[in-house]
Amino acid sequence: DGAAVLPAPQNLSVQSTNMKHVLTWSPVMVPEETVYYSVEYQGEYESLYMSHIWIPSSWCSPTAGPECDITDDITATVPYSLRVRATLGSQTSAWSTLKHPFNRNSTILTPPGMEVTKDGFHLVIKLEDLGPQFEFFVAYWRREPGAKEHIKMVRPGGIPMHLETMDPGATYCVKARTFVKAIGRYSAFSQAECVKVQGESLPL
């Protein structure tokens, strides 16, 4: 094991949005040299029962950049400890460990992107494809006094979905939010989008 002469990476942190988790750190600078990094993780199980076991991350053992996509490693809703060390030739730094274990239930859930379109008299929505862990709750209504709001659960995203057959001359509005069962959380609703249908509105 090479003597630990390289400085250990600093400022480890995790950015997590919509269940995509990226570990970042400050790069170790060595003029005219490429420093590589190795990332390892421990789930709560390992830290409780097998604390000597650290698992090499799927994509970053080693990696050249000061960041690592750990999404495929964080596969349960429990705290994960993460550590990084730098390597240059035979020189290896000490491990730097994330100050607070990361739990994916802290991920930021953003309102989903959506496209609301008309196909003749059909109200159609296409939602952002956020991956298999996401369900979508779509609310839609006819814009008129006392309108009733309808709710539909859509899964997965990325595929156009028929919501309603519309009346001529009417305006319909749609908004959506995501739900991730693995962490039991919803996003905020997106802004409502409205479409108006051609033709004379029918007498009430």
Partner 1 sequence: RGLRTCLISTNLRLIEESFRGIKQAIQAKDTLQNVTILSPSETLHGMKALDVCCMTKNLLAFYVDRVFKDHQELDPRILRKISSIANSFLYMQKTLQQCQRLCHCRQEATNATRIIHDNYAQLEVRSAAIKSLGELDIFLAWIEKNHQGTSAA
Q: Which two tokens stand for residue 162?
A: 């028929």
Distance in Å, CB of 87 to partner 1, minimum: 17
Give the type of residue at 182.
Answer: A
Q: Report DSSP state, residue 102.
A: B
Whose Cβ is closer to partner 1: residue 48's or residue 194's?
48
84-113 residues near partner 1, rule: CB under 8 A: none
User: C-beta of 161: minimal distance to partner 1 in Å?
Assistant: 17
**Contact stretch for partner 1 (CB under 8 A) within 42-50, 91-99, 136-144, 162-170:** 42-50
Q: Is 14 helix (H, G, I), strand (E, B) or coil?
A: strand
Nearer to partner 1, 25 or 80 (CB): 80
Nearest CA to 143 out of 168, 115, 171, 120 is that of 171
| Residue 143: count of CB within 10 angstroms of its CB | 13
Binding status of residue 195 toward partner 1 by CB under 8 A: no
> Smallest gap, in angstroms, from Cβ of residue 88 to partner 1?
23
**Least Å distance between CB 199 and partner 1?**
39
d(CA 13, CA 3): 26
- Residue ranges in 144-183 that form contacts with partner 1 under rule CB under 8 A: 181-182
Distance between CA atoms of residues 63 and 126, nearest Å:
36
Cβ neighbourhood burial of 90 (10 Å; 0-12, 13-18, 19+): exposed
CA distances from 20 to 29, 44, 144, 175 (A): 27, 19, 39, 23
Task: From 25-33, 43-51, 139-147, 160-168, give the range in contact with partner 1 by CB under 8 A.
Answer: 43-51
Applying the rule CB under 8 A, the residues between 125 and 144 that interact with partner 1 are 133
Of 17 and 77, CB closest to partner 1? 77
Residues numbered 47 to 76 that lie near partner 1 (CB under 8 A) are: 48-50, 53, 55-56, 58, 61, 73, 75-76
Provide the residue type at 202 as one letter.
L
**CB 25, min distance to partner 1, A:** 21
Three-state SS across 181-203?
A: CCCCEECCCCCCEEEECCCCCCC
Q: CB of 34: closest distance to partner 1 in angstroms?
A: 23
- Point out which residues bind partner 1 (CB under 8 A): 43-46, 48-50, 53, 55-56, 58, 61, 73, 75-78, 133, 181-182, 184
